Structure 1
Amino acid sequence: MNLWLWILVACALAYAWKLMGYFVPAKLLENPRMSRIAGTMTIGLLASLTVVNALATGQALVFDARIGALVAAAIALALRAPFLVVVLAGAGTAAGLRLLGWG
Structure 2
Amino acid sequence: MTLWHAILLASIAVLAIKLVGYAVPQRVFEQPRPRRTLELLTVSLLAGLVAVQALGGATGIVLDARIPAVLVAAGLFAIRAPFIVAVIAAAIVAALLRRFVGLA
TM-score w.r.t. structure 2 length?
A: 0.80
In the alignment, which residue of structure 2 is the partner of 1:30? 30
Q: How many angstroms does 1:8 deviate by?
A: 3.9
Pair 1:65–1:11, CA change in 2 (3 A): same
Gaps of at least 5 residues in structure 1 are none
SS at match of 1:41: helix
* RMSD (Å) for aligned C-alpha atoms: 2.0
Match of residue 94 from structure 1: 94
When residues 34 and 16 of structure 1 are mapped into structure 2, their CA distance, relative to the original with a 3 A threshold, is same
- The AA in structure 2 aligned to 1:60 is G
Q: Give the 3-state SS of the residue equivalent to 2:81 in structure 1.
A: coil
Secondary structure of the residue aligned to 2:94 is: helix
Identity across matched positions, percent: 46
Task: Write the deviation string for residues 6-55 of structure 1: whole angstroms up to 9, x where unpaired.
Answer: 54443332222111111112111111221111111221222232223212
Q: TM-score, normalised by structure 1?
A: 0.81
C-alpha separation in 1, matches of 2:4 and 2:41: 32
1:15 equivalent in structure 2: 15
1:57 aligns with 2:57: yes
Aligned pairs, how many?
103
